[in-house]
Amino acid sequence: MAFQTSNPIHRAQEEMIKRAMETIDGTLLLHPVVGLTKPGDIDYYTRVRSYKLLTERYNLKHPVLLALLPLAICMAGLREVLWHAIIQRNYGANHLIIGHDHAAPMKNSEEHSLYEARDLMLKREEETRVKPILFSEFVDLPGENRYEEINKQSDPTIQKQGFCIWFTGLSGAGKSTIANILVIKLLEHGRRVTLLDGDNVRTHLSKGLGFSKIDRNTNIRRIGFVASEIVKHGGAVVCAAISPYSAVRSECRIMFSHNAFMEVFVDTPIEVCEARDAKGLYSLARAGKLENFTGINDPYEAPESPEVKINTIHHSPAQSTDLIINYLIKAGLLAGE
C-alpha cells in the first residue's frame, strides 16, 4: 500500500492509512515527495523530520517503509495521478491511496478529480497494476490535527535564540567546505540559516575593497555587522572568512550577546593549504605576483581560545561538522536528537 504525501501526516490521514491497511496484508510504503512542491508547503527538512518521527514513535500496526521521493509536484491532474501510480508500482506497490487534492490543479476541481482519478486508474489497472483507494471513502475520520510532537517540528517559537558561527583559518583550510555541510545540518535541525562566505561577500557586500589591512578589517566588520543583525532577529548565521587579524575578530565578537558568537578555528597547516591551492593563489604569492596574501606575505593571527578548534588532518569535513553541532547542543543553542 503506497501513500504519497507532500506535507506532514495529520491524524485523519493516519487513521485513513490504518483503515486502508486493514484491507491488505502487507507493508505500507510511505512515499513522501521531497522535491519541489506547491507554494506555501512546509519545507523539506521539517517534513522529513515529521515522517521519521511518525514512523519511529507511532504504532501503525503494519511494517512501514519510509522512502523519500525526489519528485516535483506538477499539479497536472489526472495525468499526474496515473504517473504516480506507475511510479508506486515500480516500487512494488499494489494499491495507492488518493487524497482529496492529489495533483488537482484547482481547488474547485478536487472532488471531481478524485473520482475521475479512481475511474481512470480502474480503466488502466491492467497497465499500472495498482488499485486506487480513495480518501473520501472513510467518512467518519477524526479532525486533521497533527500530533503535538509533529507540530513542534514546524513551531517557529522553538529555539528562538540566534547565533553566529564564525569560521577563521588560512585560504584553503576547508572553511567553506565545512560551512556548507554545517548549513545543511542546521537546516535538518530546524534552523533557518544564512551563509556569509568570504568570496561571495567580496563580490557583493564588499565590492571594491582591496586586500590591505584597512580594507580587510572593513570587510570583516561589514560581515560582523550583517551577521549581528541576523542574530538579533533570532536567525542562525554561518560566516566563513579568513579574518586574519585577532583584533577585528574581537570587535565582531562584542557585536553579539553572550553565548551567541562561536569562533571556529580551522587549523590546517599551511603546507596542506598550499598543496590544495585550487585557485593557484599560493603559487602567485610565492612568485611575488600577489601582495598581502595571508600566510605568505601577510600574517595570520591564530585564535588563542576559539570555542571549537578543528584539525582537518585528523577530522573529515563531516566529523568537523559534528564537533560544531555537539558544541551547539551542549550550549543550549540547538536541540539534541
Contact 249, 292 (CB under 8 A): no
Angle at 204 between CA 202 and CA 206, to 5 degrees: 45
Phi-psi region of 234 (alpha: psi -120 to 50; beta: other; left: phi over 0): left
| Residue 320 burial (10 A CB sphere; 0-12, 13-18, 19+) | buried
CB within 8 Å of 319: residues ≥ 6 apart: none
Contact 231, 260 (CB under 8 A): yes
Residue 257 falls in the annotated catalytic set = no
* Of 6, 176, 206, 243, catalytic: 243
3-state helix, strand, coil in the chain (%, to 5): 40, 15, 45
Question: What is the number of residues in the chain?
Answer: 337
Residue type, 232: K
Q: Which residues are catalytic?
A: 243
